[in-house]
Amino acid sequence: MTDQASAPEQETPSTPDIPGKHTSASRTTLSHIMTHNDTNLLGTVHGGVIMKLVDDAAGAVAGRHSGGPAVTASMDEMAFLEPVRVGDLVHVKAQVNWTGRTSMEVGVRVLAERWNESAPPTQVGSAYLVFAAVDADGKPRPVPPVIPETEKDKRRYQEAQIRRTHRLARRRAIMELREKRAAEGFED
Protein backbone atom coordinates (compact mmCIF):
# COMPACT_ATOMS: atom_id res chain seq x y z
CA MET A 1 0.00 0.00 0.00
CA THR A 2 2.94 2.36 -0.08
CA ASP A 3 3.89 2.49 -3.75
CA GLN A 4 4.17 5.84 -5.47
CA ALA A 5 1.20 6.87 -7.59
CA SER A 6 1.30 9.34 -10.44
CA ALA A 7 -0.47 12.69 -10.02
CA PRO A 8 -3.71 11.50 -8.39
CA GLU A 9 -4.81 15.04 -7.66
CA GLN A 10 -5.31 16.14 -11.27
CA GLU A 11 -8.91 15.08 -10.97
CA THR A 12 -12.35 16.47 -10.49
CA PRO A 13 -13.36 16.16 -6.83
CA SER A 14 -16.53 14.10 -7.16
CA THR A 15 -17.77 10.68 -8.21
CA PRO A 16 -21.56 10.99 -8.47
CA ASP A 17 -22.19 7.44 -9.76
CA ILE A 18 -20.71 5.72 -6.67
CA PRO A 19 -22.65 5.83 -3.39
CA GLY A 20 -20.87 7.75 -0.65
CA LYS A 21 -19.47 6.27 2.57
CA HIS A 22 -19.61 7.84 5.99
CA THR A 23 -16.37 8.86 7.64
CA SER A 24 -16.85 6.26 10.37
CA ALA A 25 -17.13 3.38 7.87
CA SER A 26 -13.37 3.17 7.37
CA ARG A 27 -11.96 4.94 10.44
CA THR A 28 -9.39 2.76 12.21
CA THR A 29 -6.82 2.65 15.00
CA LEU A 30 -3.56 0.74 14.86
CA SER A 31 -1.75 0.19 18.20
CA HIS A 32 1.83 -0.95 18.78
CA ILE A 33 4.16 -1.19 21.79
CA MET A 34 7.54 0.42 21.11
CA THR A 35 10.61 -1.71 21.87
CA HIS A 36 14.40 -1.28 21.78
CA ASN A 37 14.29 -2.41 18.13
CA ASP A 38 12.45 0.84 17.32
CA THR A 39 15.01 3.29 18.74
CA ASN A 40 17.29 5.85 17.11
CA LEU A 41 20.75 6.95 18.27
CA LEU A 42 19.20 9.22 20.93
CA GLY A 43 17.36 6.32 22.56
CA THR A 44 13.89 7.49 21.56
CA VAL A 45 11.70 5.87 18.91
CA HIS A 46 12.93 6.54 15.37
CA GLY A 47 10.71 8.91 13.37
CA GLY A 48 10.75 6.44 10.49
CA VAL A 49 9.11 3.80 12.69
CA ILE A 50 6.30 6.23 13.49
CA MET A 51 6.01 7.20 9.80
CA LYS A 52 5.63 3.53 8.82
CA LEU A 53 2.85 3.07 11.38
CA VAL A 54 1.19 6.23 10.03
CA ASP A 55 1.42 4.93 6.45
CA ASP A 56 0.13 1.47 7.49
CA ALA A 57 -2.91 2.89 9.30
CA ALA A 58 -3.65 5.40 6.52
CA GLY A 59 -3.29 2.66 3.90
CA ALA A 60 -5.76 0.45 5.74
CA VAL A 61 -8.27 3.31 5.90
CA ALA A 62 -7.79 4.15 2.21
CA GLY A 63 -8.24 0.51 1.20
CA ARG A 64 -11.32 0.13 3.37
CA HIS A 65 -12.89 3.34 2.08
CA SER A 66 -12.14 2.63 -1.58
CA GLY A 67 -13.03 -1.06 -1.37
CA GLY A 68 -9.70 -2.27 -2.72
CA PRO A 69 -6.04 -1.46 -3.20
CA ALA A 70 -4.82 2.09 -2.65
CA VAL A 71 -1.26 3.41 -2.89
CA THR A 72 0.47 6.26 -1.09
CA ALA A 73 0.79 9.26 -3.41
CA SER A 74 2.11 11.81 -0.90
CA MET A 75 2.60 12.56 2.77
CA ASP A 76 2.01 16.13 3.93
CA GLU A 77 2.77 17.89 7.14
CA MET A 78 4.17 15.01 9.19
CA ALA A 79 4.56 16.69 12.55
CA PHE A 80 6.38 15.13 15.50
CA LEU A 81 5.06 16.89 18.61
CA GLU A 82 6.66 14.84 21.42
CA PRO A 83 9.28 12.08 21.51
CA VAL A 84 8.07 8.49 21.76
CA ARG A 85 9.93 6.22 24.17
CA VAL A 86 10.57 2.51 24.52
CA GLY A 87 7.63 1.08 26.44
CA ASP A 88 5.12 3.51 24.98
CA LEU A 89 1.90 2.07 23.61
CA VAL A 90 1.37 4.05 20.40
CA HIS A 91 -2.10 4.46 18.89
CA VAL A 92 -2.33 5.64 15.29
CA LYS A 93 -5.85 6.90 14.49
CA ALA A 94 -6.74 7.46 10.85
CA GLN A 95 -9.76 8.50 8.82
CA VAL A 96 -10.61 9.71 5.33
CA ASN A 97 -10.97 13.50 5.39
CA TRP A 98 -11.69 14.18 1.72
CA THR A 99 -12.15 12.31 -1.55
CA GLY A 100 -11.68 13.22 -5.17
CA ARG A 101 -12.48 11.06 -8.15
CA THR A 102 -9.66 8.54 -7.57
CA SER A 103 -7.79 9.91 -4.56
CA MET A 104 -8.39 10.37 -0.85
CA GLU A 105 -6.79 12.48 1.85
CA VAL A 106 -6.34 10.52 5.07
CA GLY A 107 -5.75 12.37 8.33
CA VAL A 108 -3.73 10.65 11.04
CA ARG A 109 -3.25 11.39 14.74
CA VAL A 110 -0.53 9.61 16.71
CA LEU A 111 -1.05 9.16 20.46
CA ALA A 112 1.25 7.56 23.02
CA GLU A 113 0.81 6.29 26.57
CA ARG A 114 2.98 4.25 28.90
CA TRP A 115 2.10 0.59 28.47
CA ASN A 116 1.82 0.03 32.24
CA GLU A 117 0.09 3.24 33.34
CA SER A 118 -3.53 4.35 33.20
CA ALA A 119 -2.88 8.02 32.34
CA PRO A 120 -4.61 9.32 29.22
CA PRO A 121 -2.60 9.18 25.98
CA THR A 122 -0.74 12.25 24.72
CA GLN A 123 -0.80 13.36 21.09
CA VAL A 124 2.75 12.92 19.78
CA GLY A 125 2.27 13.44 16.05
CA SER A 126 -0.01 14.03 13.10
CA ALA A 127 0.10 13.74 9.33
CA TYR A 128 -1.94 14.01 6.15
CA LEU A 129 -1.48 11.48 3.36
CA VAL A 130 -2.96 11.30 -0.12
CA PHE A 131 -3.78 7.85 -1.48
CA ALA A 132 -4.82 6.85 -4.98
CA ALA A 133 -7.14 3.90 -5.44
CA VAL A 134 -5.83 1.51 -8.10
CA ASP A 135 -7.16 -1.47 -10.00
CA ALA A 136 -5.38 -4.80 -10.64
CA ASP A 137 -3.26 -3.17 -13.37
CA GLY A 138 -2.21 -0.30 -11.11
CA LYS A 139 -4.42 2.20 -12.94
CA PRO A 140 -6.45 4.78 -10.96
CA ARG A 141 -10.01 3.74 -10.17
CA PRO A 142 -12.93 5.76 -8.78
CA VAL A 143 -13.52 6.00 -5.02
CA PRO A 144 -16.75 6.58 -3.13
CA PRO A 145 -17.30 10.15 -1.94
CA VAL A 146 -16.74 10.58 1.80
CA ILE A 147 -19.73 11.76 3.82
CA PRO A 148 -18.63 13.78 6.87
CA GLU A 149 -20.77 12.94 9.89
CA THR A 150 -19.78 15.29 12.70
CA GLU A 151 -18.87 18.97 12.87
CA LYS A 152 -15.25 17.87 13.35
CA ASP A 153 -15.50 15.72 10.18
CA LYS A 154 -16.94 18.68 8.26
CA ARG A 155 -14.08 20.93 9.45
CA ARG A 156 -11.53 18.29 8.43
CA TYR A 157 -13.18 18.01 5.00
CA GLN A 158 -12.96 21.79 4.46
CA GLU A 159 -9.34 21.93 5.66
CA ALA A 160 -8.47 19.04 3.31
CA GLN A 161 -9.88 21.01 0.38
CA ILE A 162 -7.57 23.90 1.30
CA ARG A 163 -4.55 21.57 1.51
CA ARG A 164 -5.45 20.10 -1.91
CA THR A 165 -5.67 23.59 -3.43
CA HIS A 166 -2.24 24.43 -1.99
CA ARG A 167 -0.69 21.15 -3.23
CA LEU A 168 -1.98 21.78 -6.75
CA ALA A 169 -0.84 25.43 -6.74
CA ARG A 170 2.62 24.43 -5.48
CA ARG A 171 2.92 21.73 -8.16
CA ARG A 172 1.80 24.19 -10.86
CA ALA A 173 4.29 26.87 -9.70
CA ILE A 174 7.17 24.38 -9.66
CA MET A 175 6.35 23.11 -13.15
CA GLU A 176 6.17 26.69 -14.48
CA LEU A 177 9.55 27.48 -12.92
CA ARG A 178 11.13 24.36 -14.44
CA GLU A 179 9.70 25.19 -17.87
CA LYS A 180 11.01 28.76 -17.59
CA ARG A 181 14.50 27.56 -16.57
CA ALA A 182 14.53 25.02 -19.40
CA ALA A 183 13.55 27.74 -21.90
CA GLU A 184 16.46 29.84 -20.57
CA GLY A 185 18.84 26.94 -21.22
CA PHE A 186 19.35 25.75 -17.65
CA GLU A 187 19.51 22.02 -17.05
CA ASP A 188 18.33 20.53 -13.77
State the Cα–Cα distance between residues 165 and 65, nearest whole angstrom. Answer: 22
pLDDT of residue 76: 85
pLDDT averaged per 10 residues, the chain (length 188): 41 67 97 96 96 98 97 93 97 98 98 94 98 96 97 97 94 94 87
pLDDT of residue 77: 84
pLDDT of residue 6: 40
Burial track 137-168 (b if 16+ CB lie within 10 A, e otherwise): eeebbbbbbbbbeeeebeebbeebeebbeebe
